[in-house]
Structure 1
Amino acid sequence: MNCKQANELSIIDFLVKQNVHPKEKSGGKNFYFSPFREEKHPSFIVNSSNQWHDFGSGEHGTLIDLVMKLNNCSVNDALKYIENSSCSFSFHKQNCVEKSNIKIRQVKPYVTHKALLDYLKSRAIEPNKVKNEIKEIWYTNGNKIFFGIAFKNNLNGYEIRNKFDKRSIIKKDITSIYNGADRIVMFEGFFDYLSYLMLGWNKVQTDYLILNSTAMFERSIPILKKYKEKYSYLDNDKAGNDCFEKIKNEVPGLINRSDSFSHYNDLNDYLIYRKRLER
């Protein structure tokens, strides 16, 4: 599937496949609660031209644009996400990250499959150093069997990654890791968290918060407010910068540490660069 083919797919039909339905319909427009904030009145609209508009932020676009923004992913990842229509959107107030046809067969305590170990190494992550942070998951979707690196969230759902796929299953949520600290560090994705550990920046006792998607930012706010020291290592792109500003408006004292890898999109990119220099 290419971009043209993907954007010809109906956004409304795609959302229906996720069991995400409009709250209102009027004048050829479908009104949803925005996926990017909590709200009492739906302001996210899909029109008859197959375009979405978020009237709260002024943003709009195609199906690919929506998937990229929701998951903070690349065009290629968005295409894969769209192709597998069982993947779930996270729409506030609609209780909608659906189980679809996915059934977990096994969750192994450690990652052991060679393909997954090789993938970790390709991202400059040494499996033995992070073995307690991630798991290996096997699951079915219809008649097909899949496996990947699994990172659990606060609602017992999983973020899953392998060389060819990036998805969330069961339920979408943030991940909180508590170590009894009075400081907390926030990341956008779990590979950023793993990269932080690989860089050895975890020398001080710290709690961690992984958003798993910038669309989850509002769930981080009450947690961050509890800490005296709070640091952000979100991505150095528009989505990451916008997310930081939204959170900082609600959380005084949040310190932006993304400048520590300012020439790179995210912390994992920086780690990969550092590892190459060491060779």
Structure 2
Amino acid sequence: MNGIRVNTLKISPNILKERLEKKGVKLKETFIGYAFKILDSPFSIGSTPEYLFGYYIPQSLSSLIPPLELNPNKNDFVLDMCSAPGVKTTYLSQIMENKGTILAVEISNRRTKSLKSNINRMGILNVIIMNKDMRIYYKYLINKNIFFDKILLDAPCSGNIIKDKNRNVSKEDILYCSERQKILLNIGLDLLKKDGTLVYSTCSLEKEENEDVIKYILKNRDDIEIEKINPNKYKGLNVKESYKGTLRVLPPDEPFFIAKIRKIK
């Protein structure tokens, strides 16, 4: 991770910055006041008392964008479809001022433990955790007539060389991820209320997992539209506009693809 996000539910950014700088951590301000880029640290940034107290969480600056674009308010009912380890889940809660309700779903039992840990450590009170496979669980939600104002689908993907230096992914792996992403995106849109917003993101560089997924969903549904994301909001990151106003963050920053979708009927 090249950055940290201050948990403003527990501490102010200025106080945390001062505390870390006294310990020798060098921080740089970013496009948002409660996130800092780490220039240098004499120790692991995840080993401080401030981290254990839940005052901050390591987070790449690129991964701040999906929750910011979703921008849930404190009255919203939000679904985080693939939520572990909870970095974006806790960010959604922070944006919502620990109010409203977030349903955080995670398929992996092991990763659900890290989700619970981060939620507890950061003092999050508005999250319900479900250890479920969204490809099955969505049927229960629809049968119970449960739909959402905002949905985050930070989809499982094949990853990238910045995040995993040993990445060795085949074309078959990429296509498998793409098919699974299309399934999950359709499910998310089925669970979205009319006029609701879904943000789709991956940390993959592959067009099959990004633009091609959006092209597929636009071709096969007539109840959605893409909302353009303004790349100029994210100063300091290597960002560019992509297909129909979607956004790409490119190396040397951690790669990300973000699409913002509105349900129109």
Normalised by the size of structure 1, how large is the TM-score?
0.30
Flag the structure with more relative contact order, 1 or 2, with Cα contacts below 8 A and sequence separation at least 6. 2
Q: Which has the larger radius of gyration?
A: 1
Normalised by the size of structure 2, how large is the TM-score?
0.31
